[in-house]
């Protein structure tokens, strides 16, 4: 018990006095995850919208696939990205393994299906509402998709925040492809795993508290966004 209390106060000290090692890890975590969320949104949001607006032959299959991909075990994604990027793999030539780029790739693969799936549901509902009007106004496919994405931007922001929440707390995939290298690929989750193993509880708890605060902030944002979403129909 004593050890936990001590660790707690030491953790606060590390946070409040801007411990450089701690903040390096925080910033790398944010950099990797924010980049991954941006890329995954650029891919996932339009895919979701296309699935909602377009009728094509294997549409139901693609939607089922998307839902299945949401449940991919991150460790398996890590293994897959590792094999792709390892020297003998098809993308080995780029030398990306054990770099932040490798971690970004893994996170993008993990959260794109999530973002695309939420985007699909959101846009599908709005499309049902807008359908006749947008057809009557002779919109092109691109105009439809952009109107639908723009008008459901709050719900879509919620989707990207959900993606952020999932990515920032992920450890299985990025420890495999990043390698948890000090000053290079060490992020919040992988550092917690390592420091806990070393018995370095204060540092591990400092990291854990930051992670929890980030998670709370994101959840509050999601809560607020969905609340205003319901309050008024837009």
Partner 1 sequence: MVILPLKMVGATAYVRGKRLVGPVDLTLAPEGFTIVIGPNGAGKTTLLRLMHGLQRLSGGSIDWAVSLTEARRKQAYVFQSPIMMRRRVVDCIAYPLLLRGENKKSARAKAKTYAERYGLGHVLQNWAPDLSGGEKQKLSLARALITEPEILFLDEPCANLDGRATREIEAILQKVQDEGNRIVMSTHDLGQARRLAKDVIFMLNGKIHESGEAEEFFSAPQTLEAQAFTNGEIVE
Which residues bind to partner 1, rule: CB under 8 A? Answer: 126, 129-130, 132-133, 135-139, 143, 147, 151-152, 232-234
Angle at 194 between CA 193 and CA 200, to 5 degrees: 105
What is the distance between the alpha carbons of residues 151 and 35, in angstroms, rounded to a whole number? 24
Q: CB of 40: closest distance to partner 1 in angstroms?
A: 24
**For partner 1, the closer CB: 6 or 129:** 129
Angle between helices 141-151 and 153-168 (to 10 degrees): 70
Nearest approach in angstroms of CB 155 to partner 1 is 10
Give least dist CB 220 to partner 1, A. Answer: 23
Q: Where are the alpha helices (DSSP H) in the chain?
A: 2-16, 20-53, 59-70, 74-85, 100-136, 141-151, 153-168, 172-178, 188-198, 201-231
Q: What angle do CA 117, 218, 185 make, to 5 degrees?
A: 85
Give per-residue burial for 25-46: e unless 16+ CB within 10 Å, then b: bbebbbebbebbbebbbebbbb
Nearer to partner 1, 132 or 197 (CB): 132
Residue number with CB closer to partner 1 (209 or 225): 225
Q: Among residues 82 and 127, whose Cβ is nearest to partner 1? A: 127
- Closer residue to partner 1, CB minimum distance, 5 or 136: 136
Min dist CB 42 to partner 1, Å, is: 23
Shortest approach of partner 1 to residue 143 CB, angstroms?
Answer: 6
């Amino acid at each position: 018990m004593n050890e936990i209390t001590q660790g707690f106060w030491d953790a606060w000290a590390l946070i409040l006095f801007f411990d450089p090692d701690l903040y390096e890890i925080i910033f790398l975590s944010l950099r990797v995850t924010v980049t991954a969320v941006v890329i995954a949104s650029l891919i996932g949001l339009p895919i979701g919208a296309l699935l909602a607006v377009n009728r094509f032959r294997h549409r139901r299959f693609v939607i089922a696939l998307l839902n299945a991909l949401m449940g991919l075990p991150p460790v398996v994604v890590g293994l897959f990205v590792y094999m792709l990027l390892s020297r003998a793999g098809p993308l080995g030539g780029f030398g990306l393994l054990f770099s932040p780029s490798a971690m970004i790739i893994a996170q993008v693969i993990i959260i794109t299906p999530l973002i695309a799936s939420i985007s699909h549901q959101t846009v599908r509902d709005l499309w049902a509402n807008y359908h006749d009007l947008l057809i009557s106004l002779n919109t092109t496919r691109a105009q439809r998709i952009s109107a639908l994405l723009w008008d459901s931007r709050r719900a879509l922001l919620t989707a990207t925040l959900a993606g952020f929440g999932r990515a920032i707390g992920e450890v299985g995939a990025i420890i495999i492809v990043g390698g948890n290298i000090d000053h290079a690929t060490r992020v919040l989750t992988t550092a917690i795993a390592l420091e806990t193993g070393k018995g370095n509880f204060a540092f591990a708890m400092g990291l854990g508290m930051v992670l929890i605060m980030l998670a709370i902030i994101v959840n509050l944002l999601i809560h607020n966004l969905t609340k205003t979403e319901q309050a008024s129909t837009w």
